[in-house]
Amino acid sequence: MDMGLNNKTALVTGSTKGIGKAIAFELAREGVNVLINGRSNEEIERIVQEIKLEFPATSPQNATADIVDSKKREALFKKYPNIDILVNNMGIYEIMQYEDIEDEVWEKYFRTNVLAANGLSKFYLQSMLRNEFGRIIFIASEEAMMPSGQMPQYCMTKSMLLSLSKTLSKLTRGTEVTVNTIMPGPTLSENVQQIIEGMYSNEEMSFSDKEKAFMTTNLPQSELQRFIKPIEIGRLTTFLSSPYIAAFKGSPIRMDGGMVPTIY
């Protein structure tokens, strides 16, 4: 299916690896000129060259910036004042015990996972409304609506993104601008794969068997019984970026592999 995205411009935050990288590649597959973002100029240049090689008809660009820093965001706005698609993917997470989380940690997660995305959205929403087209997509988590209790500081911020997305969507009434949120379940990032390999390092098992063993023991509530692949999230994000989804307004879209047990 042609997504109607040829020659659109998208900024994908945190796009040098994992979900962000997969989103960038899937958008480029549809002819989108992707702005690759992260803090390492070297890593970003590597991804830009990979995309140019695989999708030579597109024009990926280097958007190096620590978007948690408001001054660095301002510099990014000056370099790229107009985009069609904003994917707020960048975020941090860590398993922590509630009683060990100091105020500074709560504040760090709020600044990183919420305020950075809000700052980008606040700026680019205005130009999208003026241009009468735009897509803002937040990448949250199933933890936003079903906290496990293992990452309170992370869950708080992901729940905030649902509220922020719905609030911003109200500002797009009567326009072809949309604001939506994707809530992935457990995803096979590079870091997760290393953890799984390490857990079964002494056993002669294929990674698929290790993955099944882990899911059975640790995530039995998953109906998928495997980790979600970043490319799958990339494809859904690409669909939500297309001109054909204008009816999705402020929608929290679950892609949790059946982790959430409720019907809504």
**How many CA atoms does the CB half-sphere of 40 hold within 13 Å?**
9
**Is residue 264 annotated as a catalytic residue, yes or no?**
no
* 66 and 41 Cβ atoms separated by less than 8 Å: no
CA-based nearest residue to 182, from 95, 116, 115, 248: 248
A 10 A CB-CB count for 197 gives 13
- For residue 113, the 8-state DSSP code is I
Q: Which of 80, 154, 200, 264 is catalytic?
A: 154
User: Does an H or E element contain 208, and which?
Assistant: helix 207-218
* 54 and 76 Cβ atoms separated by less than 8 Å: no
Say how far apart CA 170 and CA 149 lie, in whole Å.
Answer: 31
Q: Strand, helix or coil at 32?
A: coil
Q: Residues with catalytic annotation? A: 154
